[in-house]
């Protein structure tokens, strides 16, 4: 298997993530979940995702589809297509799976994965994190990670 094929193999659908998570949990692995648009991957994203991985054994990323990003961010976004964004995320050694979702929120995917830990950036609060109540309901943790200042896709796009 080529390196690119190995990277692409970490991009999975809903049925595949169900099977992977089931296998990982049977092995006693702790599942960490986060989500986002990750439109222009930057240092802040990589720092945040690396820190998220430290909270468990397997890191699953829910990635907003192109249509979802357009609905959330406007017609000029995303800058990079969903497959390119998924491949960039999957290329990070500490990312175990990337699942593209088309809804405006990752709620359906979070209910599918049932992570041990749900992670979002420090610009969110428990009340604004989609899935926080659900994850807490079965004893999972909801954690925010401080943002790296002056790094955001919107700021980078504005500078360009």
Q: What is the pLDDT of residues 75-106, one digit of tens each?
A: 989 999 999 999 999 999 999 999 999 999 99
Please tell me the predicted confidence (pLDDT) of residue 147: 80
Domain of 98, in residue numbers: 3-159
For residue range 32-87, list pLDDT tens digits in order: 999 999 988 888 899 999 999 999 999 999 999 999 999 999 998 999 999 999 99
Other Cβ atoms closer than 10 A to 40: 19
Taking the C-alpha atoms of residue 30 and residue 138, their distance in angstroms, rounded to an integer, is: 14
Number of domains in the chain: 1
Residue 48 belongs to a domain with what CATH number? Answer: 3.40.50.620
pTM above 0.75, yes or no: yes
Q: Is the pLDDT of residue 149 over 80?
A: no
Please tell me the predicted confidence (pLDDT) of residue 96: 98
């Amino acid at each position: 298997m080529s390196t690119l094929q190995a990277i692409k193999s970490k991009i999975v659908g809903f049925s595949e993530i169900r099977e992977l998570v089931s296998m990982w949990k049977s092995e006693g692995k702790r599942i960490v979940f986060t989500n986002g648009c990750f439109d222009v991957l930057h240092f802040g994203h990589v720092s945040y995702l690396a820190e998220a991985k430290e909270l468990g054994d397997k890191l699953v990323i829910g990635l907003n589809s192109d249509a979802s990003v357009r609905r959330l961010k406007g017609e000029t976004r995303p800058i990079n297509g969903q497959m390119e964004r998924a491949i960039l995320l999957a290329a990070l050694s500490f990312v175990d799976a990337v699942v593209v979702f088309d809804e405006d929120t990752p709620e359906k995917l979070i209910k599918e994965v049932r992570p041990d830990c749900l992670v979002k950036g420090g610009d969110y609060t428990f009340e604004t994190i989609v899935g926080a109540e659900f994850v807490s309901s079965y004893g999972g943790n909801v954690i925010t990670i401080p943002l790296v200042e002056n790094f955001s896709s919107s700021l980078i796009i504005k500078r360009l």
